[in-house]
Amino acid sequence: MKFDPEVGAAVPAYSGRDILAMIPDFSAVGEYDLIDFARLPGPHMTPEKMFELSKLLSRELGREEIVGAVVTHGTDALEETAYFLDLTVDSSKPIAVIGAMRHSGEIGWDGAHNLISAARVVFDTEGMDRGVMVVMNDEIFTAREVTKTHTEAYDAFKSPEFGPIGLVDKDRIMWVRGKFWRKIIRTERLETRVDMFKMYAGFDARLIDYAIDTGAQGLVIEAMGRGNIPPSAFTAVRRALQKPLPVVICSRSIRGRVLDTYGYEGAGKQSRQLGAIFGGSLSGQKARIKLILALGMTRSIEEIRKIFEEGVYQ
């Protein structure tokens, strides 16, 4: 981003080569190829663009001389793209996704530092077989766990439940967690007609009913607490499950997983009995990414359930 005086705000401006020209020390980290994929602010990223990027990375990482990849990205949708890539790029080579919390015209622009740190992570031999990582503010996170927790702070990206998997200290990478289980979803198509709803006190059935009636192929519900839905909204969720549509239940809480702990109207036990899929500790936005991919691979609700509910995070 660069401040545009005519607009009076920051806008996308720099190519990859422009960015690297502002970082004279970057070439000292290692040899690199540069690919300009797109010049988009974070909110302009789409699942279709993510799919294009995934295919590009899969192709490039297949080259023997390439040891890994760094992807620069606007921070607003960074965690969604990173998780999409983690689910679709089947490579043992590391991918580090980075952004900047200050634009290049501001004092304290962090883009240069994050880019160099990410390159060091990618060149580190211990970065293999860790899937897609997000490297921000000298902390390394898994794509599945990380989320943006602040609108502008340097340390906005966090894993509230599990913490970082590593740290960057100058030219040294310190891994503090081991390698972990990862699932790849192999599909050649996407199903983007997946709607997401965040529950709140008094949420009713209108919007969910509208989604069902206008062709939604799947729903993600960010429920309260352990996975509980207001009864005024649960009538529509019940209707979706009876249709049947895949309905994934997550929690609007940033820590913990959904579970069928409670048995009252709209609670997790009832959703489970009606066939809802539990999203574990996934956020709503990441569950939506996963469901978009899962529906591209299969229409079987039971197969989709396995994609979501089998693994260490359940």
163: domain CATH number is 3.40.50.1170
Per the prediction, the chain carries an average pLDDT of: 96
Q: pTM for the whole thing?
A: 0.96
188 domain residue, yes or no: no
- Of all residues in the chain, the percent with pLDDT exceeding 70 is 99
Q: In the Cβ-directed half-sphere of 32, how many Cα atoms lie within 13 Å?
A: 22
User: Are 89 and 118 within one domain?
Assistant: yes
User: Are 159 and 72 within one domain?
Assistant: yes
210 domain residue, yes or no: yes
92 domain residue, yes or no: yes
47 domain residue, yes or no: yes
Q: With 70 as the cut, is the pLDDT of residue 51 above it?
A: yes
User: Are 223 and 168 within one domain?
Assistant: no
- Of all residues in the chain, the percent with pLDDT exceeding 90 is 91
User: Are 163 and 230 within one domain?
Assistant: no
Reduced to 3 states (helix: H, G, I; strand: E, B; else coil), residue 212 is helix
Q: With 80 as the cut, is the pLDDT of residue 314 above it?
A: no
Q: With 80 as the cut, is the pLDDT of residue 313 above it?
A: no
Q: Residue 160 class from Cβ within 10 Å (0-12 exposed, 13-18 middle, 19+ buried)? A: middle
Q: Which is nearest to 271 in space by CA: 215, 207, 216, 199?
A: 199
User: Are 118 and 15 within one domain?
Assistant: yes
pLDDT of residue 24: 84
160-164 — which CB contacts under 8 Å span 24+ positions? 160/254, 160/255, 161/254, 161/255, 161/256, 161/281, 164/139, 164/140
Chain segment 101-132, per-residue pLDDT in tens: 999 889 999 999 999 999 999 999 999 999 99
User: Are 171 and 199 within one domain?
Assistant: no
User: Are 102 and 167 within one domain?
Assistant: yes
Residue 39, both tokens:
């010049």
| Euclidean distance between CA atoms 13 and 74, whole angstroms | 12
**Mean pLDDT value of segment 28-48:** 95
Q: Which is nearest to 157 in space by CA: 190, 110, 213?
A: 110
Q: With 90 as the cut, is the pLDDT of residue 152 above it?
A: yes
**Mean pLDDT value of segment 48-67:** 98
Q: Is the Cβ–Cβ distance between 237 and 229 less than 8 Å? A: yes
Its domain, for residue 225, covers: 194-309
Number of domains in the chain: 2
User: Are 162 and 250 within one domain?
Assistant: no
User: Are 76 and 29 within one domain?
Assistant: yes
189 domain residue, yes or no: no
pLDDT band at 312 (very low <50, low <70, confident <90, very high): low
Q: Identify the weakest region by mean pLDDT among 5-9, 88-92, 148-152, 273-277.
A: 5-9
85 domain residue, yes or no: yes
Residue 5, both tokens:
């005086």
pLDDT band at 181 (very low <50, low <70, confident <90, very high): confident
